[in-house]
Amino acid sequence: MRTYFMTGFPGFLATKLIEQLARIPNQIACFHLLHVPSERHTATKRRDDLLKRTSLRPDQLLLHEGDITIDQLALSLETRRMLHQDVTHIFHLAALYDLSTAYDPAFRINVIGTANVTRFAHSCRALERYVYFSTAYVSGLRSGTVLEDELQANSFKNAYEETKYLAEVRFRNEIGTLPYTIIRPGIVVGHSKTGETPKWDGVYFVLNAMRLLQSVAPLPYPGRANALVNLVPYDYVIEATAYLSHAPVGINKTYHLTDPFPHGARAIFEMLHVAYYGRYPRGILPFRLVSTALTPVVAKRLQMQRQTLDYFIHPVQYDTTHAIRDLRDTGIICPDLSETMPRIVAYYQTHAEY
């Protein structure tokens, strides 16, 4: 029986991962879910929702107030002793994901937090796997093709990328002989079949702009740059993670859970535009004008982060050799964005809070 310890609850990916793992309930002893004290109400509600949507019992979803930035995760000695004896799988998803975050809080949560979770993992006597959620963007400003085995970068677009890079470096230095799996997702978007998402960041900032500029549509293409942009539906990330974190083939591997056939920035803008307005973009607006016009005041009005634009002009390709090979014959594949984009936009149009 598997006993899971998970950080990042009640976050969306952590919740969806629990739902995925709960599909095989006879293999589950318990989920121990770490949350910060300020998330107590949300964590309780999310746990109750999981009890309604899965076959898990209340005694299989246990909440623990703690903090990854504090030594011993701020857990009591009694709780730690119990976890050190029982936990077989650790999923470390907690991180500060905001692209506009300052360096210090990002370092504290992403780097120090990961080091504390790794120290905790070394005390788990029954541990079978430690699954660490990194990001494909630990590659920083590297261009060209980035392999799954590589961890090399010396400059970054933002503090999020830099601290996630430093966190993975530290993870690799401190993991020792523990069995691990590193998951590096691309830019996560909604469900490939339903478009469902609770997070309106990343590419959704572009949709925010389209909504507020619909009176002047059709819009021009924002520049001629056509860098590949790696958008990946969350269901692919969750299903692949659930499999690779338990399969023997996934031990001590790093996986790019990214789109193996990503689309260029112009194609993605066109998909968004057609799905939202029902017509194609018209004309081209030089990217430098777009960047200059996106002042803090304008960005706030458009509900858009300036940092998002960087991911539409940076030329990088993420190799997925390990992921494709090890997921072969499982039926788990990354759907093509051209098929999922209409559903993503439709969900945004009916669910986003304006």
Report the distance separating Cα 186 and Cα 237, nearest Å.
Answer: 9
DSSP character at residue 108: I
CA gap 186, 39 in Å, rounded:
26
Report the candidate in 137, 132, 97 with the shortest Cα–Cα distance to residue 318: 137
Output the tens digit of pLDDT for each of the chain's 354 residues: 999 999 999 999 999 999 999 998 889 999 999 999 999 999 999 999 999 999 999 999 999 999 999 999 999 999 999 999 999 999 999 999 988 899 999 999 999 999 999 999 999 999 999 999 999 999 999 999 999 999 999 899 999 999 999 999 999 999 999 999 999 999 999 999 999 998 888 889 889 889 988 999 999 998 887 899 999 999 999 999 999 999 999 999 999 999 999 999 999 999 999 999 999 999 998 888 877 877 888 777 777 777 888 888 899 999 999 999 999 999 999 999 999 999 999 999 999 876
Q: Is 339 exposed, middle or buried (0-12, 13-18, 19+ CB in 10 A)?
A: exposed
CA distances from 65 to 10, 34, 73, 167 (A): 11, 6, 9, 23
CATH of 2-188+231-257, one of 3.30.460.80, 1.10.8.10, 3.40.50.720, 3.10.450.50: 3.40.50.720
Q: Within the chain, which residue ranges are assigned CATH 3.40.50.720? A: 2-188+231-257
Task: Name residues whose C-beta falls within 8 Å of residue 315's C-beta, 6 or more positions apart in sequence.
Answer: 143, 144, 227, 228
Helices and strands (DSSP H and E) totals, the chain = 13, 15
Tell me what pLDDT residue 354 has: 62
Tokens coding 1: 């029986």
pTM of the model: 0.95
